[in-house]
């Protein structure tokens, strides 16, 4: 009898625990239609973890999550490469090294952003979704040139959270009034060889202003046109996309002060660098496991990511890689997009795809040869692996420069690749133990946090839900004019006051001097007479 009552009591407690858990569950919309695999790798753990914790998650995405939990709902949009969206022929990505940032911004980021936004908005599944009577407690959107979709936060009367996958977002700092710190913080996609020089700082200020002005007064207008075309019947008055961004409840940025430059941040701008990183639960395929285990001199791993096609590299530079690899004692794992390759050295193993996270966890990896993408750089940092970097475009130079600054990376410009320069750079990292020591030190402090990046992310998302947008975290500076924010009115008053006081003092001194001079002359005349 007592056992029976205990079982009933136990089941009641279990039922109430489950009910309590799901009573706090929120309806959350995640907007990540951009089709880049690296962006997906960084962002996908958020929705899965929210669903795991009992929230009802809906995600607008172009990359399908296999075997999701039942409370994880996917609204699929088309999955196309950026070049297909722009309607242009796919270029040789290595040619991007010749483009200035302004060219890259105008030709790729803005054109691609508009193309992706329109492709997502006119998608059949998304249009069906928008016609439904949905309600959400939170909207999470990627901060990546698709601002028209941010209006969904207004449509569903929900707080907006933005996630900057590429790190610090300069224009968002300007919008919400976060200090810019342009002397030490570089614009997120600008390659600066010496950012502390006069030229470097001028270039940083110019690009920050250039992007912000064109974004605010031209690009957002293009996004608003897409918003009005594909999301009709919004409740009037519809706020501007600039206004939507200004009232963002939370910005999560893919940085961490242990690797990235330390910076002042408002309480609603939170660092979550390394969000996707954790020890892998998967094992290596047997062939790779055997190669890594039996390579007694270690392994060099070369992977330029999903967008850069290594087989398109200039033939002379490619042969420089092969000739250097041929002389190594180490085995080389090399991502190669074709089925075959000519003149491949015997110690080079090629595959179209590698399980990178699992490879990085193997103790025999000695060097990572990379293009400097942020996700791969963070994975190498997390696992304490030195990097030889060949930056191609966007934020890659900045990421590699930080690795070089911390003493576990070395930059080799694409134009400078030769058998001599590549051999010297690679052998320096392989033979100088300081690179490995520094990599392990940075890895230790990168992981030394009170919560994991994913736990930090979920805590802040739920904090915003609990406090209904957490308006109290938003700075009053976001509603100030730039004239008032930069205290130019104060400077005008102070300078005007100083000028007036100085003028009055000079005027007084002149008159007193003249008066004294007149009295002196009068007295002198009286004495002579």
Domain positions in the chain are: 27-277+452-479, 286-447, 488-512
Strand residues in 277-340 grouped as ranges (E) = 299-303, 331-335
Instruction: Return the sign of the alpha-carbon dihedral for residues 29, 160, 41, 144.
Output: positive
pLDDT band at 7 (very low <50, low <70, confident <90, very high): low
Note the pLDDT of residue 283.
84
CATH 3.30.450.20 fits 27-277+452-479, yes or no: no
CB 264 within 8 A of CB 179: yes
Two domains, one topology: 27-277+452-479 and 286-447: yes
Note the pLDDT of residue 23.
45
**Which of 50-59, 95-104, 240-249, 448-457 shows the lowest per-residue confidence on average (mean pLDDT)?**
95-104
DSSP 192-236: -S-TTSHHHHHHHHHHHHHHHHHIIIIIHHHHHHHHHHHS--PPS
Note the pLDDT of residue 22.
44
For the domain bounded by 286-447, which CATH number is listed? Answer: 3.40.50.2000
Q: Share the mean pLDDT of the chain.
A: 90
Is residue 420 exposed (0-12), middle (13-18) or buried (19+ Cβ within 10 Å)? exposed
Q: Which residues pair with 234 in a beta bridge?
A: none
Note the pLDDT of residue 528.
60
- What is the C-alpha to C-alpha distance for residues 518 and 478, in angstroms, rounded to an integer? 60
CA distances from 106 to 95, 109, 114, 373 (A): 16, 6, 11, 20
In this predicted structure, the answer to whether residue 173 has a pLDDT above a threshold of 50 is yes
CB 339 within 8 A of CB 441: no
Strand residues in 207-351 grouped as ranges (E) = 250-253, 269-271, 299-303, 331-335, 348-351
In angstroms, what is the C-alpha Rg of the chain?
Answer: 29
Note the pLDDT of residue 523.
59
**Which of 5-14, 196-205, 252-261, 313-322 shows the lowest per-residue confidence on average (mean pLDDT)?**
5-14
Once rounded to an integer, what is the mean pLDDT over residues 306-324?
92
**Which of 146-150, 188-192, 385-389, 450-454 shows the lowest per-residue confidence on average (mean pLDDT)?**
188-192
Count Cβ atoms below 10 Å from residue 501 Cβ, excluding itself: 10
Q: Which residues, at least 6 apart from 329, have a Cβ–Cβ distance to it below 8 Å?
A: 297
- What is the C-alpha to C-alpha distance for residues 198 and 204, in angstroms, rounded to an integer? 10
Note the pLDDT of residue 16.
42
**Which of 204-208, 363-367, 485-489 shows the lowest per-residue confidence on average (mean pLDDT)?**
485-489
Q: Between 86 and 136, where is the model more confident?
A: 136
Once rounded to an integer, what is the mean pLDDT over residues 421-447?
97
In this predicted structure, the answer to whether residue 15 has a pLDDT above a threshold of 70 is no
Is residue 128 exposed (0-12), middle (13-18) or buried (19+ Cβ within 10 Å)? exposed
Once rounded to an integer, what is the mean pLDDT over residues 423-443?
97
Note the pLDDT of residue 170.
93
Once rounded to an integer, what is the mean pLDDT over residues 302-316?
91
Closest CA to 244 of 341, 133, 318, 147: 147
**Which of 5-14, 109-118, 151-160, 331-340 shows the lowest per-residue confidence on average (mean pLDDT)?**
5-14
């Amino acid at each position: 009898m007592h056992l029976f009552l205990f079982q009933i009591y136990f089941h009641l407690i279990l039922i109430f625990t489950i009910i309590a858990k799901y009573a706090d569950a929120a309806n959350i919309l995640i907007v990540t239609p951009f089709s880049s695999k690296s962006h997906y790798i960084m962002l996908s753990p958020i929705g899965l973890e929210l669903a795991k914790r009992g929230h009802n998650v809906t995600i607008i995405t172009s990359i399908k999550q296999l075997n999701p939990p039942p409370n994880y709902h996917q609204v699929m949009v088309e999955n196309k490469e950026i070049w297909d969206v722009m309607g242009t022929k796919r270029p040789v990505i290595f040619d991007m090294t010749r483009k200035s940032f302004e060219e890259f911004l105008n030709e790729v980021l803005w054109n691609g952003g508009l193309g992706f936004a329109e492709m997502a908005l006119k998608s059949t599944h998304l249009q069906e979704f928008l016609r439904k009577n949905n309600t959400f407690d939170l909207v999470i959107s990627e901060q990546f040139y698709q601002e028209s979709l941010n209006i969904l936060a207004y449509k569903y009367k929900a707080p907006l959270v933005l996630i900057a996958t590429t790190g610090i977002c300069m224009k968002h700092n300007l919008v919400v009034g976060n200090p810019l710190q342009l002397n030490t913080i570089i614009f997120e996609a600008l390659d600066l060889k010496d950012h502390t020089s006069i030229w470097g700082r001028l270039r940083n200020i110019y690009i920050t202003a250039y992007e912000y002005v064109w974004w605010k007064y031209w690009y957002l207008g293009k996004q608003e046109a897409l918003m009005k075309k594909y999301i009709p019947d919004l409740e009037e008055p519809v706020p501007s996309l600039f206004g939507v961004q200004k009232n963002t409840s939370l910005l999560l940025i893919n940085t961490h002060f242990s690797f990235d430059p330390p910076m002042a941040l408002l309480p609603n701008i939170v660092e979550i660098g390394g969000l996707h990183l954790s020890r892998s639960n998967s094992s290596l395929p047997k062939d790779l496991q055997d190669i890594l285990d039996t390579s007694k001199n270690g392994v060099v791993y070369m992977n330029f990511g999903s967008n850069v096609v290594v087989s398109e590299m200039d033939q002379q530079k490619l042969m420089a890689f092969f000739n250097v690899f041929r002389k190594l004692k180490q085995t080389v794992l090399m991502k190669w997009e074709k089925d075959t390759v000519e003149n491949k050295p015997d110690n080079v193993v090629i595959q179209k795809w590698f399980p990178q996270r699992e490879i990085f966890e193997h103790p025999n990896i000695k060097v990572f040869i990379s293009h400097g993408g942020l996700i791969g750089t963070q994975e190498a940092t997390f696992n304490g692996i030195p990097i030889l970097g060949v930056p191609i475009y966007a934020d890659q130079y900045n990421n590699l420069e930080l690795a070089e600054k911390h003493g576990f990376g070395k930059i080799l410009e694409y134009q400078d690749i030769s058998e001599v320069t590549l051999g010297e750079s690679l052998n320096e990292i392989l033979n100088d133990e300081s690179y490995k020591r520094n990599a392990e030190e940075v890895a230790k402090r990168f992981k030394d946090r009170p919560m994991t990046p994913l736990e930090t992310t979920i805590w802040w998302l739920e904090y915003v839900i609990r406090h209904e947008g957490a308006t109290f975290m938003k700075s009053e500076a976001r509603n100030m004019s730039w004239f008032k924010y930069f205290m130019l009115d104060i400077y005008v008053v102070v300078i005007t006051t100083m000028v007036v006081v100085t003028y009055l003092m000079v005027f007084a001194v002149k008159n007193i001097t003249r008066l004294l001079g007149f009295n002196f002359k009068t007295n002198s005349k009286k004495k002579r007479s």
